[in-house]
């Protein structure tokens, strides 16, 4: 009902397509009469490539075009327009300074086929970025090529496969905890491994009994996310690494949650052999709509020969691309990776410096705990009253008592101008709402979000089931929207 009222009051002139707004003869520009003699088109263009009729382009005045695009740009939520507490898939705020730096003509106008001598500045930057990521991760071998976190996972698992092939060992299994991000088992399958799930215990950590039962000489890699997707740092990680290493396996650290531990601890120091970074979650790179992103990987000494090639090296004061890597798995991305994202990550790391990065993590953890301390008074937080960079609240009590689900709450938040948290992930928490505020949000924003969420939990089930009421599209079939997206407009 409320939704109907809203759609009746919406001015559809602002949301119709240019084709729908088109009126024959309307123009944004009228050209002056030509002062050179007209020539028939057929004199200029061979008639067999000339269209028989002009293309059906929309005809509009300039204000209509400007309003159309300006309005379109406001239909979606973004990190520049709204608080975006999307746990796990977080994109932290992108400082505009880094955007400007990445757009400097010296970077923007480079061509990847330029000779190395003419791109020494960029190669130097990438070389330094490799060194900085090695220092932050505690793992010395770095490839900047992967184009997203999931792509980094795949590349690193291909590195692991090449390493075991070289050793002559036939290891077929990758273990992933049941709280892991879906990309972990998917990457393992794509790299040719069988995936086996390891259970979590009641505290949300790896169940050591289940791990022991599944660990064997056939295990190539144990993939662990630490802090994990429940926002908890698994203190058993060193012990787990010991057990896996004893049997000749490797530890992969899904570094998506490095924003919680920068400068506090290093994956290489707690037993990881390889990892990826998600610059969009840690170093303020952009990563909208599936890319372009970056997912640099870092590996230990023994895995370094297998990294994708080329890597950037410094040779007698000269930076160059090293292709002479006979054990490399080869390229996983054209040219040098998504350089624009890597430049932003470089600028971010250099701006903060070692102490600043540590402060980033402290503030990210502080913000998440502040929000947790507010939310837990009205939504249960099944994994305790402390977290790292994110936490999971559960709507299962509301569902049992009033039929209100995590999806209802998430959708209703959109009406108040807050992006929804991640819902129904991790799978181990019922009616999960995963909330990650990041370090850049003010106390005012966190208070406003907590207050709105509290208000929403008290609203009627009828109102919540139909939410959102103020958006153009309410509840699309998300599976169909992802699997069979309608990518073009057609008149019906």
Ligand X SMILES: Cc1ncc(COP(=O)(O)O)c(C=O)c1O
Residue 256 near ligand X by CB under 6 A: yes
Task: Choose one: 145-153, 387-395, 465-473, 480-488; the region binding ligand X (CB under 6 A).
Answer: 145-153
- Output the six-digit token pair for 23: 């009126």
Residue 435 near ligand X by CB under 6 A: no
Cβ-based nearer residue to ligand X, 179 or 367: 179
Angle of the 339-375 helix axis to the 443-457 helix axis, nearest 10? 60
Task: Choose one: 46-54, 92-100, 146-154, 406-414; the region binding ligand X (CB under 6 A).
Answer: 146-154
Cβ-based nearer residue to ligand X, 149 or 468: 149
To ligand X, the closest distance from the beta carbon of 273 in angstroms equals 17
Residue 260 near ligand X by CB under 6 A: no
> Whole-angstrom distance between the N-terminal and C-terminal Cα of the chain?
26
Residue 225 near ligand X by CB under 6 A: yes
Cβ-based nearer residue to ligand X, 278 or 457: 278
Angle CA 210–242–275, to nearest 5? 90
**What's the Rg (C-alpha) of the chain?**
26
Residue 181 near ligand X by CB under 6 A: yes
Residue 183 near ligand X by CB under 6 A: yes
- Is residue 304 within 8 Å of residue 140, measured between CB atoms? yes
Task: Choose one: 143-151, 163-171, 360-368, 403-411; the region binding ligand X (CB under 6 A).
Answer: 143-151
To ligand X, the closest distance from the beta carbon of 150 in angstroms equals 3
Residue 92 near ligand X by CB under 6 A: no
Cβ-based nearer residue to ligand X, 204 or 468: 204
- Is residue 275 within 8 Å of residue 156, measured between CB atoms? yes
Q: How many residues bind ligand X (CB under 6 A)?
A: 16
Residue 278 near ligand X by CB under 6 A: yes
- Output the six-digit token pair for 26: 């309307």
Rounded to 5 degrees, φ, ψ at 89 are -95, 20
Residue 295 near ligand X by CB under 6 A: yes
Task: Out of 122, 150, 368, 435, name the contact with ligand X by CB under 6 A.
Answer: 150
Measured distance CA(361)–CA(411) in Å, rounded: 29
Q: To which residue do tokens 């972990």 refer? A: 184
Measured distance CA(172)–CA(116) in Å, rounded: 40
DSSP secondary structure of 291-329: -S----EEE-GGGGGGS-S-EEEEETTEEEEE---TT--
Residue 236 near ligand X by CB under 6 A: no
Helix (H) or strand (E) holding 151: helix 149-167
Measured distance CA(308)–CA(302) in Å, rounded: 14
Task: Choose one: 61-69, 148-156, 266-274, 333-341; the region binding ligand X (CB under 6 A).
Answer: 148-156
Q: Which residues bind ligand X (CB under 6 A)?
A: 88-89, 148-150, 181, 183, 225, 229, 254, 256, 278, 281, 287, 293, 295
């Amino acid at each position: 009902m409320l939704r109907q009222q809203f759609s009746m009051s919406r001015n559809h002139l602002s949301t119709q397509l240019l084709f729908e707004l088109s009126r024959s003869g309307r123009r944004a520009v009228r050209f002056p009469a030509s002062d050179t003699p007209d020539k028939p088109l057929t004199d200029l263009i061979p008639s067999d490539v000339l269209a028989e009729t002009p293309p059906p382009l929309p005809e509009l005045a300039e204000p209509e075009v400007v309003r159309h695009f300006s309005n379109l740009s406001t239909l979606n939520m973004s990190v520049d327009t709204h608080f975006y507490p999307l746990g796990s898939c977080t994109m932290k705020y992108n400082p505009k300074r880094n955007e400007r730096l990445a757009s400097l003509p010296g970077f923007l106008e480079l061509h990847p086929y330029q000779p190395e001598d003419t791109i020494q500045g960029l190669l130097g930057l990438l070389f330094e970025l490799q060194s900085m990521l090695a220092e932050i991760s505690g793992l010395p071998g770095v490839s900047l090529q992967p184009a997203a976190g999931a792509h980094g996972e795949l590349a690193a698992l291909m590195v692991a496969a090449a390493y075991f092939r070289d050793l002559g060992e036939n290891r077929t299994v990758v273990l992933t905890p049941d709280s892991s991000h879906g990309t972990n088992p998917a990457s393992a399958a794509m790299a040719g491994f069988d995936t086996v799930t390891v259970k979590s215990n009641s505290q949300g950590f790896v169940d050591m009994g289940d791990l022991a039962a599944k660990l064997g000489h056939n295990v190539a890699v144990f993939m662990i996310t630490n802090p994990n997707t429940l926002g908890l740092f698994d203190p058993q990680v060193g012990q787990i690494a010991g057990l896996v290493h004893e049997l000749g396996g490797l530890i992969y650290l899904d570094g998506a949650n490095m924003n919680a531990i920068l400068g506090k601890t290093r994956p290489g120091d707690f037993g990881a052999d390889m990892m990826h970074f998600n610059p969009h979650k840690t170093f303020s790179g952009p990563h909208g709509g599936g890319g372009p992103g970056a997912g640099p990987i870092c590996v230990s000494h023994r895995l370094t020969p297998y990294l994708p090639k080329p890597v950037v090296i410094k040779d007698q004061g000269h930076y160059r691309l090293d292709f002479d890597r006979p054990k490399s798995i080869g390229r996983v991305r054209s040219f040098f990776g998504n350089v624009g994202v890597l430049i932003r990550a470089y600028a971010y790391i250099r701006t903060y410096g070692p102490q600043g990065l540590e402060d980033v993590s402290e503030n990210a953890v502080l913000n998440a705990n502040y929000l947790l301390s507010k939310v837990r008074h009205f939504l249960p937080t099944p994994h305790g009253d402390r977290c790292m960079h994110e936490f999971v609240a559960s709507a299962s009590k509301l569902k049992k008592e009033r039929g209100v689900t995590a999806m209802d709450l998430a959708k209703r938040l959109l009406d108040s101008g807050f992006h929804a948290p991640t819902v129904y992930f991790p799978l181990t928490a019922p009616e999960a709402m995963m909330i990650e505020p990041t370090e850049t949000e003010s106390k005012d924003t966190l208070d406003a979000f907590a207050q709105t969420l509290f208000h929403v939990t008290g609203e009627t089930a009828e109102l919540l089931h139909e939410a959102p009421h103020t958006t153009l599209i309410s509840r699309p079939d998300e599976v169909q929207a992802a699997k069979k997206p309608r990518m073009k407009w057609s008149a019906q």
